[in-house]
Chain A
């Protein structure tokens, strides 16, 4: 028996006008949300905000009373719930490893049901244990009770990934861990997330976790989505008092107010010549691992060069100078807050910090926000 896969990759998940009530309680009150393939979308809110119900409607553990949820344009109501869920990874806070099964059996349960051979299962389990940083030979044959909470949660993640689902639903997976361990698992998870390249919907009530992990964050309150945006949107343009309290705009801005540009700038490197050949410039930038270069024109004039722009225009330009953007100059000791406001007003996302006529650093508001939180 092979698993029917309703989808191999996620293009879109369209949640449209979805409503759900349990008895007299309205859990989800008409939400619409487009989740993009490959992103990590955070659903955040207090208890009773409807975030978990929303998550559980995506894999049909709960069916909506009204509205539709479509994955890649296919209404999930037309897909058998069991088939759908076998194709979607699911991780919960309580983990729910089966106590009577070894780690191998826990992770290998779905493959066993699907009739994989013992060798296939063993190699897949080993591969996943390595991915979640647990040495397979030490952990394969242990029972869940013999593992710490953090180790169990890693096994939970490995189990969710076993059928290589294109979509992962995570319901406060790190919520029960102590703050230090939570932070460590988040860091590991950021790495794993890069490796696996999946679409992830992640429920949390921890705004710091949301900022660290989320590409976009949907803030839910009383069954509705109050605001949806990138961490930067939410901090800089909170929709209302509730959002600004939640994201701690005041707190963050209070912190920012004491900082200068030099506190938060990143090194300006590489600095390359404006006459440099396009190909070698790409080489230098890739080599240095930098997506942004500072270009020195004749004398003491500078401009900035984005690797993405350069790659786009590689065939149309001869020298890098033609692909550069005029810089937005900032001075080292300017207040960070006013610098950000100026940049926002000019709608630029990159500032070149100068000191004594030479580039001293770059200010990247997007990057800055993730570093501040």
Chain B
């Protein structure tokens, strides 16, 4: 019976967190690639990333309301604002910290800029990108709790209602699945990382 009641908030929570996460990935990685070739863009992105890291999550959620109101989509925007920047920042760091010798040799054998990104920079950046996405996923999950305050629904509603009504049971029924989802996210990304990342014979990956 309880599980039936929980199903809707759990689904809402997952849709909320994952939609925001995938939009963040879809925006973040191309933006990071662009930042590699545009110094002004790189400056803006990095400044924003550092700035957003300093703003408390609650403030991020709050600031969305006067700008675009409340409900599901504003909640998505709030989550993206929080999740986008670790992805961009990690991707950019991963792409730009490739050993210059590899870039020089790639240019020397005649790879184009795009081929260098595709075959050299991106594969070398995968571990950093994965770390960024994993971090963003955990962030999205926790922000998706807070966005219940601005009407996103989901597990956060249970937590806040439980807190307000001093209903320990209700609060835990929101918090525990959220913890479960966080653990699941972490485990699934670690699994994907092991599956997708080539064994380069150089680190503890194998």
Residues of A participating in the B interface, judged by any CB pair closer than 8 Å = 59, 61, 82-90, 92, 94-101, 109-110, 113, 142-146, 159-160
A145–B108 alpha-carbon span in the complex (Å): 21
Sampled A-B contacts (18; CB under 8 Å): A61-B108, A85-B108, A85-B110, A86-B110, A90-B110, A92-B101, A94-B101, A94-B104, A94-B105, A96-B101, A96-B105, A96-B108, A98-B102, A109-B109, A143-B201, A145-B200, A145-B201, A160-B109
Q: Is the CB of B200 within 8 A of A99?
A: yes
Give A296 to B37 CA distance when docked, in angstroms.
Answer: 75
User: B residues bordering A, Cβ < 8 Å?
Assistant: 101-102, 104-112, 115, 119-120, 123-124, 198-202
Query: Which of B108, B109, B200 has the largest number of chain A CB atoms within 10 A?
Result: B109
A84 to chain B, nearest CB (A): 8
Contact B109 A90 (CB under 8 A): yes
A160 to B109, CA, bound (A): 7
Q: Which of B111, B115, B201 has the most CB of A within 10 A?
A: B201
The answer to whether B202 touches A95, judged by C-beta atoms less than 8 angstroms apart, is no
Q: Is the CB of A143 within 8 A of B200?
A: yes
A143 to B115 CA separation, bound complex (whole angstroms): 21
Collect the chain A residues with CB atoms within 8 Å of residue B124's CB.
Answer: 99-100
Report how far A83 CA is from B111 CA in the complex, Å: 9
CA distance A142 to B198 in the complex (A): 12
Q: CB distance B104 to A100 under 8 Å?
A: no
Other contacts beyond A96-B101, A98-B102: 10, CB < 8 A:
A90-B105, A92-B104, A92-B105, A94-B101, A94-B104, A96-B106, A98-B120, A109-B111, A113-B119, A160-B109
Cα-based distance from A160 to B190 in the complex (angstroms): 37
Q: With a CB–CB cut-off of 8 A, which chain A residues contact B111?
A: 82, 109, 113
User: Considering the chains assembled together, what is the distance between the CA atoms of A74 and B71 in angstroms?
Assistant: 65
Query: A100 with B123: in contact, given A143-B199, A145-B202 (CB under 8 Å)?
Result: yes
- Of all chain B residues, which has the CB nearest A143? B201
